Amino acid sequence: MNRVQVRIEKAGYGDLMVVPHLEFAVSGGELLVLLGPNGAGKTTSLRALVGTVDVSRRTLRLDDRDLSRLSTWQLAHAGVAFVPDGARCFANATVEENLRGAFEALRPRGAQGERRRLLDTVFNLFPILHQRQGQLAGSMSGGQRQMLAIARALMIEPKLLILDEPSAGLAPKLVEELFEALGRIKDSAGCAILMAEQNFAAAMGIADSCLVLDEGHVALAGPAAEIRHNERLRVAYLGL
Ligand SMILES: Nc1ncnc2c1ncn2[C@@H]1O[C@H](COP(=O)(O)OP(=O)(O)OP(=O)(O)O)[C@@H](O)[C@H]1O
Ligand SMILES: [Mg+2]
Domains contained in the chain, CATH given: 1-79+158-240 (3.40.50.300), 90-157 (no CATH)
Which atom of ligand 1 has the smallest separation from the CA of 37?
A: 25
What pLDDT does 120 receive?
Answer: 95
| pLDDT for 229 beyond 90 | no
Q: Which residues contact 16 (CB under 8 A, 6 or more apart)?
A: none
- Rounded to an integer, the average pLDDT of 197-209 is 89
Give the confidence band of 108 by pLDDT, cuts at 50, 70, 90: confident
Q: What percent of the chain has pLDDT over 70?
A: 97
Q: Which residue has the higher pLDDT, 54 or 45?
A: 45
Which atom of ligand 1 has the smallest separation from the CA of 47?
A: 18
How confident is the prediction for the chain on average, in pLDDT?
91
Give the confidence band of 234 by pLDDT, cuts at 50, 70, 90: low
Q: What is the pTM of this model?
A: 0.94
What pLDDT does 238 receive?
Answer: 61
DSSP 48-67: HHHTSSEEEEEEEEETTEE-
- Rounded to an integer, the average pLDDT of 227-231 is 78
**Residue ranges lining ligand 1, Cβ < 6 Å:** 13, 16, 18, 36, 38-44, 198
- Give the ligand with the smallest distance to the CA of 212: 1
Q: How far is CA 134 from CA 97, 110, 142, 144, 172, in A?
A: 8, 22, 17, 13, 26
Q: Are 25 and 4 in contact (CB under 8 A)?
A: yes
How remote is the CA of residue 117 from the centroid of ligand 2, in Å?
A: 33
Give the confidence band of 236 by pLDDT, cuts at 50, 70, 90: low
- Rounded to an integer, the average pLDDT of 144-163 is 95
